[in-house]
Amino acid sequence: MNSDTILVTGAGGQLGTELVLALRKIYRHVIASDLKDGSPALSEGGEFIRLDVLYKNGLADCVKRFNVNQVYHLAAILSATGEKNPELAWRINMKGLRNVLDVCTENKVKKLFFPSTIAVFGPTTPRVNTPQYTVMEPNTIYGISKQAGERWCDWYFQKRGLDVRSLRYPGLISYKTKAGGGTTDYAVDIFFEAVEKKKYECFLKEDTVLPMMYMPDAIRGTIQLMEAPADKITVRSGYNFAGCSFAPKDLAAEIKKTIPDFAITYAPDFRQPIADSWPQSIDDSVAQKDWNWKPEFDIAKMTKDMLVNIEAMQSVA
């Protein structure tokens, strides 16, 4: 087991919970933290602490007390919630990140992970096979804050020598933790509703193609990036990172192969224009070249795995 001590902020979220569980298989000491109490999975398997990333002194005390060597800073407000609470989103996504960047620099933390997102792209970005370097005019507070975050991360690398690494996550899909506050959340909710009710009302139009990724790929790629030799990392803002792209109608058709009487209806809401401003597919050839990234789950393999596991969870519930 690696002897580094890792701190994960926002550990109670969709990505955080699974990342903590995966990191605890590799690292002896992984401290999960969040603003609110964590799930039993987080506190039973190791250390869990309440932590507010807006309180810099508390963050610094934690890094010193546990002699933290690496930080995965996941605490953030996502796209849909951010549009409803722009001030809160900007404060948490920006002031929270600045506190983490400063505390990591001041305490010589070895490595920092910053989760960026395809939401840094906007309606003027080429939408198909979006390149690593292109026009970026995000029009959500979430996307604007993550684009600014990417620039801050690159500045701290260039000017302070902080080894900060980042991925532009697509929509993440998992069965272990529900998504919360995102525009891509339909791609998680649909599976649970398909198993429980055999029907789902989708808040995006049937042909809304978005970049997505199954959580096992996201976790594996994140750790692979963080474990890569520093001299392989050529991007310090945020790597384009791709899994599989699909629309709600494609996902519904895939679910029907297992649940033939599954029925989907469509009622687009305020999240439709957010989705329409994002890419449909991502060119992640720079990540593939720099640190050998390659996804393992396509829509068919992901759908099968999601349904098998949700049905197993429901059977013991």
- Catalytic residues, by residue number, are 142
Cβ at position 156, least distance to ligand VAH in Å: 22
Cβ at position 174, least distance to ligand VAH in Å: 11
Q: Which is nearer to ligand VAH, 171 or 216 (CB)?
A: 171
Cβ at position 60, least distance to ligand VAH in Å: 28
The correct pick among 119, 173, 204, 244 for binding ligand VAH (CB under 6 A) is 119
Verify binding: residue 17, ligand VAH, rule CB under 6 A: no
Cβ at position 155, least distance to ligand VAH in Å: 22
The correct pick among 53, 118, 195, 235 for binding ligand VAH (CB under 6 A) is 118
Written as one string, the DSSP assignment of the chain is -EEEEEEEETTTSHHHHHHHHHHTTTEEEEEEEESSPPPHHHHHSS-EEE--TT-HHHHHHHHHHTT--EEEE-----HHHHHH-HHHHHIIIIIHHHHHHHHHHHTT-SEEEEEEEGGGS-TTS--SSB-SSS-----SHHHHHHHHHHHHHHHHHHHH---EEEEEE-EEE-SSS---S-SSTHHHHHHHHHHHHSEEEESS-TT--EEEEEHHHHHHHHHHHHHS-GGG---SS-EE---EEE-HHHHHHHHHTTSTT-EEEE---THHHHHHTS-SSB--HHHHHHH-------HHHHHHHHHHHHHHHHHH-
Query: Could you say which residues in the range 192-251 bind ligand VAH, by CB under 6 A?
Result: none
Q: Binding string, 159-198, against ligand VAH, x = CB under 6 A?
A: ----------xxx----------xxx--------------
Q: Which is nearer to ligand VAH, 38 or 115 (CB)?
A: 115
Residue facing ligand VAH at closest CB distance:
182
Cβ at position 2, least distance to ligand VAH in Å: 28
Query: Could you say which residues in the range 141-160 bind ligand VAH, by CB under 6 A?
Result: 142
- Enumerate binding residues for ligand VAH (CB under 6 A): 78-79, 117-119, 142, 169-171, 182-184
